[in-house]
Amino acid sequence: MTYFVSFRTSVSGGEVGDPKVLVADETAENYRQVPEFGLVSLFAEKDILFATHGFNVNQAEGVRSLARLEARLNPVGAELFVGVLWPGDYWLPVVNYPTEAADAVKCGQKLADFCAKYASRSNSISFLSHSLGGRLILEAVAQLDTRAKTVCLTAAAVDRDCLDAQYADAVSNAETISNLSSRRDMVLRLAYPVGDFLSDIFYDDDDALQSALGYLGPKSPWPALVRPKKIPEALDYGHGDYLPPSDQQSPLSGLKWENAADFMFRAFRNQAQTWP
């Protein structure tokens, strides 16, 4: 069973809601809500890893993928994996991107408040993300009232200069930030600039049209605590190759996501990075 912090008000789509903590397994069929009075003790003296999915993922898909990711991590000792579910799914992905980016920011702010209220007695707080979940995580880290131990961004759908511009506050509030990118990610190459352009128009982001952090990596020179890794193009990593499958039929072993997951967990455990 996996713990989740959910900001969803519906199993598909819906608005951003107040956080609730759920316990579920990868079948995504059985849910139990953890009472609020038990949350402080749940997180006390734990090394917490908050992990979130990206854009266009409904509740069941998020639960399956993140529960499988926890199984790959195999937490030990005081480690506690907590999936983060948020309403980033819609039927028209690119055109709806600006709205979902705004939802990611709202959820990041709420996650920071959640940590302040319930996780103040934890040993440490770390984060990892995929795709647009990177914006959620960076927003949370920027708003935290304590420093994040580690942050790992994979296929991040945020501007590649965000670590020294929009989210410089997140950089100053983290001990290390790892970033995994791929130039074979056609979603970030083709769709991200369109969605970001629309976000500039409708939400007045006021930033120049540029590539995603998860496509080209951070601009050089990057902050000293940032640890970027570009996946060799020959390995052909696309946008969907970072997290476990979110459906019930796909095989779980022998896939690219296992290498990406191992990168995430070495980042969480602050271990030296390797790549096959």
Domain contains 275? no
Rounded to whole angstroms, the Cα distance separating 194 from 10 reads 27
Residue 25 lies in a domain: yes
Task: Map residue 222 onto helix, strand or coil.
Answer: coil
Tens digits of per-residue pLDDT, 211-238? 899 999 998 899 999 999 999 999 999 9
Ranges of residues in the chain whose predicted pLDDT is under 70: 90-100, 193-209, 251
pLDDT value for 194: 56
pTM: 0.92
Whether residue 142 contacts residue 170, with contact meaning beta carbons closer than 8 Å, is answered with yes
Which residue range(s) make up the domain with 209?
A: 2-268
- The pLDDT score that the predictor gives to residue 13 is 85
Determine the pLDDT at residue 90. Answer: 62
* Residue 274 located in a structural domain: no
112 part of a folded domain: yes
CA dihedral 173, 130, 7, 28 (to 10 degrees): -140
Q: Going by C-beta distance under 8 Å and a sequence separation of 6 or more, which residues neighbour residue 138?
A: 108, 151, 153, 158, 162, 167, 170
273 lies in some domain? no
As for how many domains the chain has, the answer is 1
By three-state DSSP, how is residue 58 classified?
coil
Predicted pLDDT at 193: 63
Which pLDDT score, from 0 to 100, does residue 251 have? Answer: 64
Residues 92-117 have pLDDT tens digits of 444 334 446 789 999 999 999 999 99
The CATH number of the domain where 245 resides is what?
3.40.50.1820
The tally of CA atoms less than 13 A away on the side-chain side of residue 229 is 20
Burial status of residue 210 (CB atoms within 10 A of its CB: 0-12, 13-18, 19 or more):
middle
- Give the DSSP letter string of 160-185: TTGGGTTTHHHHHTEEEEEEEE-TT-
Could you tell me the two tokens for 152? 């790992």
The answer to whether residue 242 sits within a structural domain is: yes
Cα 244 from Cα 230, distance rounded (Å): 20
Sign of dihedral through CA atoms 78, 41, 118, 121? Answer: negative
Asked if the structure places residue 104 within a domain, the reply is yes
